Amino acid sequence: MEDTLKALISEAEEGIPAVRTRPEFEAFKARYVGPHGSLTRAMRGIKQVPREDKPRIGKLLNRTKKRLEEVFEVCLGAIEDGEQAAKWGEAIDPSLPSPDPPPGNLHPLTQVREEINRILKSVGFAVADGPEVDTEYFCFDALNTPEDHPARDEQDTFYLPAQAKFANVNKFSEERYLLRTHTSTVQIRTMLRQRPPVRIISPGRCYRRDTTDATHSASFTQVEGLYVDKGVTVRDLKAVLDFLFKSLFGSDTRSRFRPHFFPYTEPSYEMDASSAHLKKVGKEWVELGGCGMVDPNVFAAVGYDPEVYSGYAFGFGIERCAMILYGIDDIRYFYQNDYRFLRQFGHPVSC
């Protein structure tokens, strides 16, 4: 019996190279472990083995069976490799990088927007939303912007054709619709919905009739901020913007306000930032957006008492922040969907 089993193993081992297809493998396997296979037969033969030899022969049978299983595994592995090679042209080396496309990443503007949201949420701001198609009321009138303000000009604002009626959508449905020129619209929408305290940010897309060049795009994104409560001062405004820009651009960042005019804030400022990042674009200071203390006329439009409440507002461009952060010198890169550009911002998708 011992000799038979030894012979069986060496026969099987020698047979490996001849087994090249799955039918060959099935026949090969059957030769040993099929109903009439040699191992099956040997197993049945244990009945005839004298009692005292049974444990030893039993062990031997088990060892033979195990070895045969290893032989089958080798055969099958070789057949599978052959099949893969036939399918892909060459054997697969699992240690090489995957030929699948990389998992992708968020657009750089999305990444910067999410980072701004994260920073401002950490100091209590909630994220509010508003429509991109809005009315003159929300975009201009309620924001204390007079009829003859140049921003309302058809040269600057995309108006929807008069026949585009959104009848009875709300009480302002008689108004001209437009593509919002800034996210400041969300200030009004939020204040009409709730009483103070209000502490919101609103990131979103805006549109202007700008001719596209390295720093202008007819569609771009902004973040609006609004805080209304009792006793809010310019100091609070400066503090939150300092915190935001230091968090975003690094702790060496400085920010400054320059007096300016916006119809919806009084006083109003333009805000600039200076950071090591700016060296990438060869500048000391860069203008990021506007801000100021909410004008009493805006409070009047939403029914807040300016004698009781005060507040600040700010708005700035996300593209500008991303350009500073990454040293990008042309805004058009953001919208061209060129994979060679986008894949440079490939930290893993996480939000």
Chain residues in the site for ligand DAH (CB under 6 A): 182, 184, 224, 262, 264-265, 268, 289-292, 313-315
Q: Name which of 80 and 156 has its Cβ closer to ligand DAH.
A: 156
Q: State the minimum distance, in angstroms, from the CB of residue 164 to ligand DAH.
A: 24
Minimum distance, C-beta of residue 185 to ligand DAH, in the bound complex (Å): 9
Q: What are the angstrom distances between the C-alpha of 341 and each of 133, 279, 333? A: 30, 21, 7
Tell me how far, at minimum, the Cβ of 298 lies from ligand DAH, in Å. Answer: 9
Q: Are 3 and 42 in contact (CB under 8 A)?
A: no
In the complex, least distance from residue 274 CB atom to ligand DAH, rounded to whole angstroms: 20
By beta-carbon proximity to ligand DAH, the closer residue of 111 and 157 is 157
* Residue 89 C-alpha from the chain's centroid: 36
Which lies closer to ligand DAH via its Cβ, residue 75 or residue 196? Answer: 196
State the minimum distance, in angstroms, from the CB of residue 137 to ligand DAH: 16
Q: How far is 116 from 304, CA to CA, in rounded Å?
A: 28
Residues 6+ away with beta carbon under 8 Å from 230: 196, 308, 309, 310
Packed helices 2-15 and 22-33: angle between N→C axes, nearest 10 degrees:
180
Given the complex with ligand DAH, which of 85 and 133 has the nearer CB atom? 133
**Beta strand 126-127 pairing with 198-207:** parallel
Instruction: Report the C-alpha gap between 80 and 82 in whole angstroms.
Output: 5
Residue 184 or 190: the one with the smaller Cβ distance to ligand DAH is: 184
Collapsed DSSP state (helix, strand, coil) of residue 175: coil
| Amino acid in position 228 | V
3-state helix vs strand vs coil in the chain, percent to 5:
45, 20, 35
In whole angstroms, how close is the CB of 326 to ligand DAH at the nearest point? 22
Least separation in angstroms between CB 258 and ligand DAH: 12
Cα distances from 165 to residues 139, 175, 177, 253, in angstroms, run 17, 9, 8, 47
Q: Which is nearer to ligand DAH, 24 or 242 (CB)?
A: 242
* Rounded-to-integer distance, Cα 312 and Cα 235, Å: 10
Nearer to ligand DAH, 30 or 123 (CB): 123
